[in-house]
């Protein structure tokens, strides 16, 4: 789908779902369509690792194992990014929060600036399919657009649809062994947030085993309704 929507009000969304559920893929689409900011703690942590910051040094081995980085580190990184002026127009939280401590910290951070979580959307998938999704994933090294060997290939082989770049990369933690641990961490520490957000009345679930365009249609309807 094409086009963007100009908004008078704003929304702050949490995308929940295990690794490979499509959080990043859909967050980028919502960002483009609604003018929201995609805030991915995975991307922020990978940038910290690449920059060799203290937080990045602490996070590197944890991420390679497929475990969760400590709440203190992630909340500090998130707090800094959330304070940037562009986030005032609405945020899509992609991969955050991942623990109850993080969810409570997010509520407190939002409340400090008179904001709140508008909707938490759980992308429901079968774990078994996630290994296939993740092991086939690659991204444009220039703009970060995501692709898949089978499910979403560039229109012109070897050229990014979004920016025309010709260099692509794969993530170090996208291997079957690490994906297994990431799925275990999701079910043990993050899945309880589905109940957390259900209790506050902002939870919606989506069948994310549908193809990418159908998931996008469902998500767009939820966000458009929230903005109406």
Annotated catalytic residues are 23, 98, 137, 170, 182
Is residue 24 close enough to count as binding ligand AP5 by CB under 6 A?
yes
Is residue 33 close enough to count as binding ligand AP5 by CB under 6 A?
no
Chain centre distance of CA 98:
11
Asked whether the CA dihedral 69, 70, 71, 77 is positive or negative, the reply is negative
* Best CA proximity match to 171, nearest among 139, 128, 131: 139
Shortest spacing between CB 12 and ligand AP5, in angstroms: 16
User: Between 88 and 129, whose beta carbon lies closer to ligand AP5?
Assistant: 129
Q: Pattern 103-132, binding to ligand AP5, x per CB under 6 A?
A: ------------------------------
* Best CA proximity match to 209, nearest among 123, 134, 99: 123
Select the residue interacting with ligand AP5 from 31, 38, 41, 122 (CB under 6 A).
41
User: Between 203 and 206, whose beta carbon lies closer to ligand AP5?
Assistant: 206
Is residue 23 close enough to count as binding ligand AP5 by CB under 6 A?
yes
Neighbour count for residue 209 (Cβ, 10 Å): 14
Is residue 22 close enough to count as binding ligand AP5 by CB under 6 A?
yes
Burial class (CB in 10 A: 0-12, 13-18, 19+), 51: exposed
Select the residue interacting with ligand AP5 from 37, 91, 193, 215 (CB under 6 A).
215
Is residue 182 close enough to count as binding ligand AP5 by CB under 6 A?
yes
d(CA 201, CA 55): 34
């Amino acid at each position: 789908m094409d086009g963007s929507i100009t908004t008078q009000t704003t929304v702050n969304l949490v995308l929940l779902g295990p690794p490979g559920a499509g959080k990043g893929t859909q967050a980028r689409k919502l960002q483009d369509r609604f003018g929201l900011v995609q805030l991915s703690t995975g991307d922020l942590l990978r940038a910290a690792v690449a920059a060799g910051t203290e937080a990045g040094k602490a996070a590197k081995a944890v991420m390679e194992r497929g475990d969760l980085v400590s709440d203190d580190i992630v909340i500090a990184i998130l707090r800094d990014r959330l304070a940037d002026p562009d986030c005032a127009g609405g945020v899509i939280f992609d991969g955050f929060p991942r623990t109850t401590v993080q969810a409570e910290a997010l509520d407190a951070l939002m409340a400090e600036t008179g904001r709140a979580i508008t909707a938490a959307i759980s992308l429901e998938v079968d774990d078994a399919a996630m290994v296939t999704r993740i092991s086939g994933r690659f991204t444009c090294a220039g703009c970060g657009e995501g692709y898949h060997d089978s499910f979403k290939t560039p229109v012109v082989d070897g050229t990014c649809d979004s920016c025309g770049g010709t260099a692509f990369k794969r993530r170090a933690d996208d291997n079957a062994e690490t994906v297994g641990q990431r799925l275990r961490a999701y079910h043990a520490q993050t899945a309880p947030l589905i109940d957390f957000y259900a209790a506050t009345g902002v939870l919606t679930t989506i069948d994310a085993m549908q193809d990418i365009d159908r998931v996008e249609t469902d998500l767009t309807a939820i966000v458009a309704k929230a903005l109406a």
